[in-house]
Amino acid sequence: MAIRDVKPTRSELIELKKKTKLAESGHKLLKMKRDGLILEFFELLNKAKNVRSELDDAYGVASEKIGFAKSVEGDVAIRSIAFALKDVPQIKLESKNIMGVVVPKIESSQVRKSLCERGYGILGTSSCLDEAVEAYETFVEKIIVAAEIETAIKKLLDDIEQTKRRVNALEFKVIPELSEAERFIELRLEEMERENTFRLKRIKA
């Protein structure tokens, strides 16, 4: 179809301008969201580095303590004491919102216990066992914190990628195409007005 056969109207131009403005507004909001998510991501990433370091340290301490306890109490005694544990840690999974991204929030209880709550006899065991149990309780707490932060990081990263794709689609495809269509309609309307003016002059002549 030739360009001269296209006869747009003013209402079509107004509608197109509204769509362009809406796309530009959406693009601005998505860029703000993307930038905000990136800041949150790097903040969590710094926390994750610290937690990962603390987790490695806690694992090292727990391994050292349990090794010493085994050498004192014996491997069989340690295993039997482990089975004496009555209450296992309780994990409650909730969620929180970070700039529209739902990330997990892990609440834990009964991880750290008193001597009486651990389920084994105090009199028949040495203090090195208590130290090993306490070290593993700390290790489990670090695991829970690390799991929460690293899962949140993954979810944020996924949403950042999706938001970046939407920003790029609006910036490099949708908005340019709308702007081009808008310019075309404006030029065509101007041309139609000139044709009508020329036609009226000929009729008057």
Q: What is the CATH number of the domain that holds 131?
A: 1.10.287.3240
Name the more confident of 35 and 74.
35
Alpha-carbon span 87 to 137, nearest angstrom: 13
Contact 95, 155 (CB under 8 A): no
Q: Do the domain assignments include residue 21? A: no
| Residue 85 confidence (pLDDT) above 60 | yes
Q: Do the domain assignments include residue 33? A: yes
| Residue 157 confidence (pLDDT) above 80 | yes
| Residue 3 confidence (pLDDT) above 60 | no
User: In which domain, by residue range, is 76 found?
Assistant: 27-204
Would you state the pLDDT for residue 204?
Answer: 76
Would you state the pLDDT for residue 1?
Answer: 44
Question: Which residues in 65-87 are b (16+ Cβ under 10 Å) and which e?
Answer: bbeebbeebeeebbeebeeeeee
Count the alpha carbons within 13 Å of 36 in the hemisphere toward its beta carbon.
10
| Residue 95 confidence (pLDDT) above 70 | yes
Q: Do the domain assignments include residue 8? A: no
Q: Do the domain assignments include residue 53? A: yes
Would you state the pLDDT for residue 2?
Answer: 46
| Residue 110 confidence (pLDDT) above 80 | no
For 171-189, write each residue's pLDDT tens digit: 999 999 999 999 999 998 9
Q: Do the domain assignments include residue 145? A: yes
Q: Do the domain assignments include residue 182? A: yes
Q: Do the domain assignments include residue 15? A: no
Would you state the pLDDT for residue 6?
Answer: 65
Q: Please tell me the least confidently modeled range out of 129-133, 158-162, 177-181.
A: 129-133
- Name the helix (H) or strand (E) containing 35: helix 10-73
Q: Which residues, other chains included, contact 137 with Cβ-Cβ below 8 Å and sequence gap of 6+?
A: 111, 112, 113
Number of domains composing the chain: 1
Residue written as token pair 């009199």: 123
For 8-66, write each residue's pLDDT tens digit: 888 899 999 999 999 999 999 999 999 999 999 999 999 998 999 999 999 999 999 99
- Which of 98-102, 117-121, 177-181 ranks highest by mean pLDDT? 177-181
Q: Do the domain assignments include residue 2? A: no
